[in-house]
Amino acid sequence: MNKSDLVEILTEQLKTLSRKEVDLIVDTVFDKMTESLSKGDRIEIRGFGSFEVRTRQARQGRNPKSGEKVFVTTRRVPFFKVGKELKERINGGPEAEGAEPKQKVSGE
């Protein structure tokens, strides 16, 4: 799914809003998330997951094309950690639609 797919789905579900209004809402949400992460804040969406910025230390790297050694500076990268509920739904756990809870087998 990409952004335009998301806007399309929301436009179909929110009949009172135009596509342009839904597009503005989606843009605003993503802009605020980006702004928050760039400040170093953490974003947590219950049942989905959390976003945070992690710092990768400077290191000696290598150009894969030439094999030449290069220095990679310290940088900040966005990181997503999936929430328990989303992980269970993806893996067919108890939260998955129509799935029965898994039973623990003795000896596990």
pLDDT in tens, 25-47: 999 999 999 999 999 999 999 99
Query: Does residue 58 belong to any structural domain of this protein?
Result: yes
Same domain, 11 and 26: yes
Query: In the numeric block, which tokens belong to residue 34?
Result: 């980006």
Flag whether 48 is in a domain: yes
Q: Please state the domain count of the chain.
A: 2
Residues 72 and 51 in one domain: yes
Residues contacting 21, CB < 8 A, separation 6+? none
Domain of 59, in residue numbers = 42-97
Tokens of 8: 């399309």
Triad 54, 30, 39: Cα angle to 5°: 40
Note whether 82 and 45 are within 8 A (CB).
no
pTM for this one? 0.71
pLDDT over 90 at 100, yes or no: no
